[in-house]
Structure formats: C-alpha cells, structure tokens
Structure 1
Amino acid sequence: MNPDTQSAAGARRSVSGRRSSILRWGQIFFLIIGVLALSYYAYAMLEAKLYQAYQARQFQRAQQVRSAEQLQQAQQSQKAEADFRAANARVESNANLPAVGLLADSSNADLELSPGESAPEQPGTTAVQASAPAIDFPLGRIEIHRIGLEGMIMEGLGEKTLRHAVGHIPGTPAPGQSGNVGLAAHRDTFFRPLRNVRRGDEIILTTLDGVSRYRVDLLSVVEPENVDVLKDTPDTILTLVTCYPFNFIGPAPRRFIVRARKITN
C-alpha cells in the first residue's frame, strides 16, 4: 500500500472516530437532559401530592371544628331555651305577680336572681363566632368520581397555586355560592382527567358550608380571549377551565370549558 492510500485511510478512520465520539457524547447529553426532565416532573408531581394531602388534612380539621361549633351552638341554644322557660315558670308560680317572663322590671324583688346565677338568654341569641379561614387555606374540594378527578381548591391563579391545587378564578363567586363559580387548573396535572369528561357526569363540590352537586351540561373549546364563559348568571353553575389540546407540546393555544348546573333536587 502506497503512502497516499495509507494517509487517506487514516484520515477516514480519524473522521469516523470523531463522528462516533460526537454521537456518543450527544447521546449522553440527551440522556442527562431526559433524566433531569423526568426527575423534575416526578418532583413536581410528588410536591403537588404532598401539598394536596396537607391541605386535605387542614380542610378535614376545619370541617370537624365547624361541626363541633355547630353542635356547641345547638347545645347552647337548647340550654338558653330551657333557662328561658324555667325563668318564666318561676315567675308564673308567684301568685302575686303577673306572668311577664323576662320582660318584667328587674327591680322587682321576686325576679332577682340568686347569687352567682346569670340572666338567661332568649332562644336563638347564642352564637359561636367561627374563626375565619387563613389566606393559605383550601376553599373546598372538587371531585368527579367517574373520571378519577379530585383536587383541593385554593384561591387565585398564581403559578404556585396552580402547581399545587385547583385555582378559584378571582371575580367569580366563591365555591358553593350561587352564580357562575369559576375554577381552573393545568391540563397536565389536576384537570388532566377532564379529557374523558362527558355530558351528564356529576361534579361534587365540598366546602365548609356543605356539599353541592352539579351535572355537566356543556363541553366547549374557546379562544383564550373569550371570557364570556365566566360571566355571572342568576343560575347556580360551575365552570371549569383548562388549556387545550391536552396533548399539545408547549403553551396550548385554546381553552377547554366544562359547564355544569347545580342539581336542585
């Protein structure tokens, strides 16, 4: 083999070696990028699940406190009514005084209370002041059992809020109230099951005031600028908003709308 042939063969081997090296490092680079992307996604999902579990516990404790407060209020109301009747009975038993109940002149000696006895309250006047929820406190929980959707609802549409929960759209009625309640979430997290929603599906909305049930009656796709879907209405409806298409890579160009009406019966 002459020197020129050997030189050309060596050059080809050198170029082939560099190409193989570039391909190998390229594969390693994209593998690292893929692992990092999957790790970030797994971390985000785990963080959201832990935050949801924490908020669910907070909400459950608040429900228990609310139930205890309502029970205490009912007991105090019953006690006030019993005291009211007992006081009237004491007055009526005095033959020298008309039965004027608690409206009698407090200066009358026959209506004076014994030492340490407090004046009875009229029924219905006793109330327990419930503590107001903190700002970072769930407004409620949304569930659509057929498609496996469940999420705690937080106020606002900030990045942190939507990363951790379903967001209540500011300017719309609070969950559970009358009017057009608006909720939003990402299509790849809490509202991803909406890709399987159907007309007739039941939506359960739980707040500290109780449970409301809605029936899906409209599915639509609109442009992001279309805010008519959030206009208030005299009817009690629930509007869910997420990005569309569900499998779009990057910022999705449209919005998927689910509207449901409250089940009155």
Structure 2
Amino acid sequence: MPELPEVETTRRGVAPFLSEQIIRGLVLRESRLRWPVDPGLDRRLGGARVTAVNRRAKYLLVETDRGCLLWHLGMSGSLRIITDGRAPEKHDHVDLVLENGHCLRFNDPRRFGFLLWTEAPLAEHPRLAALGPEPLSEDFSAERLYARSRGRRAPVKSFIMDSATVVGVGNIYASEALFLAGIHPRRPAGRIALARYRQLAARIKQVLAAAIEQGGTTLRDFRDSDGMPGYFSQSLNVYDRAGEPCPQCAAAIRRAVIAQRATYFCPRCQR
C-alpha cells in the first residue's frame, strides 16, 4: 500500500503539471471504486482552476477555486501525468483532463482507492478532522508522544501507527524507526520514557525524510508519477529481513505479528 512517502513523491511529481491549470473535465471509465464516484463530478470540475496540490496524511489534495478533490491511492493505486494522449490501459479508471490537453490518470487494479469532492473547509472534512500531526511538521514532537502515551498498554509500534497519534508512520517505516531508536516494537507505549520518545521522534522524522528523498519504498504495486518504483527499500535495516544479520550487531533479525501486521526487529539492539 502506498504510504506517506509514496504519496508525497507522487504529489511532488504531479504538482508542477497541475498547478494553475484549468480543468476541462473528468473522464470516468469505472465508478465502482472503494466508494462510488460522484456522477456529477465532471460538471463540478469543468472550468475550475487548480490553485494548489497538497497532501494530508495519505490523501492527495487537488485544491481548486471551487473546492477540493481528496484522492486516496488505496492498496494499489497510482497517478501519472499523461502528456502524449496515449490510450488508457485496463485499470486506468479516471482521467482528470486539463485544458492544455494533459491529464492526471488514475490506475488502480484493486479498485480500493477513491476520490471525494468537498467545498467545505478541509480541516472539517470527516476523513481529515481526526488526524494527528504531520510527522515532518513542528506539531509532531517527543513531548506529544510522551503525553499521549501515558497509561497506554498497547505496543509502541501500534501506538505510532495510529493516525490519531501521528499520520503516515506505516508498517515499514514504524519497524525501521523503532530499530534505529533501539526500542522493541512490543514494549507498551506507556512504559517508554520521554528521553526514549525523543530518540523515536527523531528517528521517525529521519526515516520518512530519507524515504521521501529516495522516492518511497519499492512495494509490489507502487509506482511514482513517472511510472518508476521507489528506491528506499535498498536502505531498509530490518523490514522483510527475517533471519538476516542485524546491520549493527549481526544477530538474526526476527519476525513477529503485532496487531495483524508483520513486524521485524533485532532481539539484541531493541529493548
């Protein structure tokens, strides 16, 4: 599933092509996505000007002078800018067509992505209102993690993957940040001291910033706006490396399941 770095990579790829462009309309080839696409969306979008392309958590926000499209890539979705008029492929379900002849094309084999339209303030949208801070923003801090974790018995890995705690720390990035911070993923969130949360917050920022810089993690389905895979998987320390030597101490990396998610850690380095 595309995570925050993959969505941010996509945003950076498509934003220069969309910003300040006039939308001609929407071509909908398949409306049966995670939620049915509004049949009146073509009419709402025709003639609108794109004012900004932003991101909140894993939502791509195509903001216009009339309202905003919230685009979610789901499990297997990808967005690409089409400039040569090429014919759509099998799973190309939606085209956002611009007046200059280019289009933003949405491909989603599993059809678990979606796009929603809103004219209300984004902060009030039900998909966004309860989200925690962005991990690379000043609003995200060790002090916030520490205060929110008091009394929590849930494993720290589940705690930092909760979007109400902080957005965008997906399964891969949680495993990597906990490894770099030396914290065992099963340790109860409420039993971690502020000093260790300072280390964890710094490592979360480090891992996500590096993943964005390198174009996201190469996953089975992810492609960026140019159709190319991300390359951060080349830098993974523990994720999907069960049985391989820890890069710090050479102990065998272990795999466990926490909250139904595969988790990887070093039994020596993480306490």
* TM-score interval, normalised by the smaller of the two chains: under 0.3
More RCO (CA 8 Å, sep 6+)? 2
- Give the TM-score taking structure 2 as reference length: 0.23
**Whose helix proportion is higher, 1 or 2?**
1
TM-score (norm 1): 0.23
Q: Which structure has the larger Rg? A: 1
